[in-house]
Amino acid sequence: MICMLMQSLKGFSKAGAADVRRATEPRRMGSNKYDNGSVLIVGGGREYHGAPLMAAFGASNTIAALRTASGNVTIAVPNRVANAVRALSANMIVRELGSDTLSKADIKVIGSIRHDVTVIGPGIDTDKKSLEAIHSLIKAEIKAGKSLVIDATAIKTLLTSERLGKHVVITPHTGEFRDLTGLDLKKAGITERIKASVQVAKKLGCVVVLKGHETVITDGKTFKVNVAKTSALATIGTGDVLCGIIASYMASHKDAYESAVAGVHVHSLVGDMLAGKMGTHIIAMDVAEHIPDVLKGFDVAV
C-alpha cells in the first residue's frame, strides 16, 4: 500500500476548493442547532487559558459562515480558568470542571455534555495527573463512539501500540510527531514527511494531520498535501483554530479524513487572505474572526 502511495508522489494530490465542497453538507431550512452537530472543546490550564477559546472560535465562526458546520459549541475547562474564558466571549457555553487542572474525576462530567465531536488538548497542563486524565478521557470518548480531534498536550499521551479508529484525527507539528514516533522530520523533505505520516496513520488506524508549510493529511490509505502560500500562520494559537475548524466539519460531514483535508485548506486560505492585508503580523484571533470571509463562498442550503 505504501509503495503504491509513494509512486504517486511526483505529482502528489494537493488539497483544494473541491475538498471543501466535498465536506460541506447542506443545512436545511428549519434545522436547529443540534441537527448540525455539537463540538466539545476540552482544554485550558495554568498558562494557556486562551487555547480552548481559539479552538472554539474556529468551530463557532465556522457556524457563522458555513451552513453545514456544528450548531453548538461547548468549552470544558478547569475551574481556575473558567471565568477568564467566560470573560473573553459570550458565544460559547462554558462548563467548569471540578479542579484547577484536568483530572479523571472530570471524565464523567465531560461524558454527560451533549456532543458529537471532542477536541482534546489545547492548553492543557502537562503534569502527570493531567496526562493520565487525558489518556483515560480519550479511551472513554472512543468507547462512547465520539469523534475526536487530538492536539497539543493530548498527543503526548498517545501510544503507537494502540488503535484510535477512523473517527479520530491527530494534529501534530514536527516536535509532537517526534515525541510520538521518535522520528525527527524537522529538516525532512515532503516525500519523507508523507511516508512517515502514512505509516503512523496506518499503525494507529486514524487520520494524521502533520502540520507545516506543506501539511500532510492522511488516513493511511490515501493522502493529500496542503501547500501554504505564506508563513503568516506560524504564530501561537493558530493550530488551536485549525482544530476547531476540523471539528466543525466532522460534526456535520462525519468523514474524518475528508473533514481534515477541508479544514486544513480553509485554515490555509484564511491565512493567505490575511497575509495579503496584514503581512506576517496576524494573530490567532484574526484567523478565527475572518473564517466567514472564506467560507461564505462555500455555503450550501436546501
* Mean of per-residue pLDDT scores for the chain: 84
Q: Which of 70-79, 104-113, 134-143, 170-179 has the lowest mean pLDDT?
A: 70-79
Higher pLDDT residue, 131 or 235? 131
Dihedral (CA of 32, 37, 42, 47) sign: negative
In a domain, 79, yes or no: yes
Q: Using H for helix, E for strand and C for coil, what is the string for the chain?
A: CHHHHHHCHHHCCECCHHHHHHCCCCECCCCCCCCCCEEEEECCCCCCCCHHHHHHHHHHHHHHHCCCCCCEEEEEECHHHHHHHHHHCCCCEEEECCCCCCCHHHHHHHHHCCCCEEEECCCCCCCHHHHHHHHHHHHHHHHCCCEEEECHHHHHHCCCCCCCCCCEEECCCHHHHHHHHCCCCCCCCHHHHHHHHHHHHHHHCCEEEECCCEEEEECCCCEEEEECCCCCCCCCCHHHHHHHHHHHHHHHHCCHHHHHHHHHHHHHHHHHHHHHHHCCCCCHHHHHHCHHHHHHHHCCEC
15 in Cβ contact with 217 (< 8 Å): yes
6 is a domain residue: yes
CATH number of the domain encompassing residue 240: 3.40.1190.20
What is the per-residue pLDDT across 271-288, written as a single tens digit (0 to 9) for each? 999 999 999 898 888 888
In a domain, 165, yes or no: yes
- Say if 299 falls within a structural domain: no
Q: What pLDDT sits at residue 67?
A: 32
Say if 300 falls within a structural domain: no
**297 located within any domain:** no
**Residue 73, domain member (yes or no):** yes
> Structural domain tally of the chain?
1
Please check whether residue 302 lies inside any domain of the structure. Answer: no
At 94 the pLDDT is 85
Give the pLDDT mean for 163-185: 96
Residue 190: per-residue pLDDT? 94
Domain interval for residue 238: 2-292
